[in-house]
Amino acid sequence: MTIQWYPGHMTKAKRMIEDSLKLVDGVLEVVDARVPCSSRNPELLELTAKPRVMVLTKTDLADPKRTQEWVEYWQSRGEKVAPVNLLQGTGVGKLRGLVRRTFASLRREPRLMVVGIPNVGKSALINALTRKRAAQVGARPGVTRGKQWLSGEGMLLLDSPGVLWPKFGDQETARRLAAVGAIRDEVLDQAALASWLLSWLREHYPQGVLDRFGALELPGALEEIGRRRGCLLPGGEVDVHQAAAVVLKDFRIGKLGAVTLDLSPSEVQGC
C-alpha cells in the first residue's frame, strides 16, 4: 500500500500561511495527541520564528501515558504545550493561561493564527476558544477568502486557519496519519490500511480489539470481522471494504481504546 500525498496545493497553502503569519504575534500549533509527532509539520518552523503554543488535541482518544511523555518531552525542549479534549473542553482554561503568560510582554491581546494539518481539530479549537460556532473555519488551502478576527477572550484568532500539509515521511508516518483521518480516505486502500492497523493494534494495544471484535487470527482478521459483522457481498463473500470502514470508524471514535500511534519520544525520530 502506497499512500499518495497531496500534490499541487502545497505551494499555494504555503503562500497563504506565510501571508497570514505576517499579521499575527504567534501561532497555536494544533497536533493530534494520537499522532503527536507524525501530525506536526516540520516546515512550520521554517515558515515563522514567531512564538508558538502547541495544542495537543483529542487527548480523550490517546493513551494518557504517552500524552504525558510527549508533553514532558516537548516541555524539556522549551516548547509550550497544552493537552486538551475539545469535546469536553478539558484543558482549554489552562491553554488560555499559557497563552496569556507566553504573550504577556505584548500588553495587549495577542493576535494568533491556528495552524495544523487537516482534521486535527483546528475548527473545534477556535470554537472552544471563542465559545461559539465560528462559521467557515474549516478552510482548505487554495480557497481565497476574506480574513476576519475572532475574539477568543484574551486573544484574537485569525479565522482562516492555515491548513498545513502533512509531514513528508516514510509510509509508516503516512499510515498513522491515514488511520486517524488526516488524509482523505479516497486516496487510500482502506482494506490495506485497516489490516495494517489491526496487526499494529494487536501488537501494541491488543485489549481494545479483543473487547470490540473478539479473538482474531492474523492474517485474515479483517475478513473475520466482516463475517462477524455481517459485511457481506450479494454472493455471501465478505465485503472487506465495508469491514475496513467499520474498523477505521471504530478506531477513529475511540471504540478500540485510547491509542497513541506514535510511540514514546525516545522511539520516534524527528520531533
Ligand X SMILES: Nc1nc2c(ncn2[C@@H]2O[C@H](COP(=O)(O)OP(=O)(O)OP(=O)(O)O)[C@@H](O)[C@H]2O)c(=O)[nH]1
Residues binding ligand X (CB under 6 A): 57-58, 60-61, 85-87, 116, 118-124, 138, 163
- Compute the residue count for the chain: 271
- Sole window of 26-34, 133-141, 201-209, 253-261 interacting with Mg ion (rule: CB under 5 A): 133-141
Which of 123, 190, 195, 260 binds Mg ion (CB under 5 A)? It is 123
DSSP β-ladder status, 156-163 and 149-151? antiparallel
Q: What is the residue whose three cell numbers read 494568533?
A: 112
Q: Find, among 176, 75, 169, the residue nearest to 119 by Cα.
A: 176
Beta carbon of residue 120, minimum distance to Mg ion (angstroms, whole number): 9
Which of 5, 43, 138, 202 binds Mg ion (CB under 5 A)? It is 138
Between CA 193 and CA 187 the distance in angstroms is 11
Beta carbon of residue 123, minimum distance to Mg ion (angstroms, whole number): 3
User: Between residue 70 and residue 109, which ones bind Mg ion under the rule CB under 5 A?
Assistant: none
User: How many C-beta atoms surround the C-beta of residue 200 within 10 A?
Assistant: 17
Beta carbon of residue 252, minimum distance to ligand X (angstroms, whole number): 9
Beta carbon of residue 141, minimum distance to Mg ion (angstroms, whole number): 12
Closer of 22 and 140 to ligand X (Cβ):
140
Between CA 124 and CA 25 the distance in angstroms is 21
Query: Which of ligand X, Mg ion, none sits in contact with 39, Cβ below 5 to 8 A by type?
Result: none
Closer of 143 and 263 to Mg ion (Cβ):
143
Q: What CA–CA distances, in Å, run from 213 to 218, 246, 247, 270? A: 13, 11, 9, 35
Q: What is the residue whose three cell numbers read 509539520?
A: 41
* Interface with Mg ion: number of residues (CB under 5 A): 3
Query: Which of Mg ion, ligand X, none sits in contact with 169, Cβ below 5 to 8 A by type?
Result: none
Closer of 169 and 254 to ligand X (Cβ):
254
Closer of 124 and 271 to ligand X (Cβ):
124
Q: Is 119 in the site for Mg ion (CB under 5 A)?
A: no
- Sign of the alpha-carbon dihedral angle for 206, 88, 119, 52: negative
Closer of 43 and 60 to ligand X (Cβ):
60
Closer of 120 and 197 to Mg ion (Cβ):
120
Residues that bind Mg ion (CB under 5 A): 122-123, 138
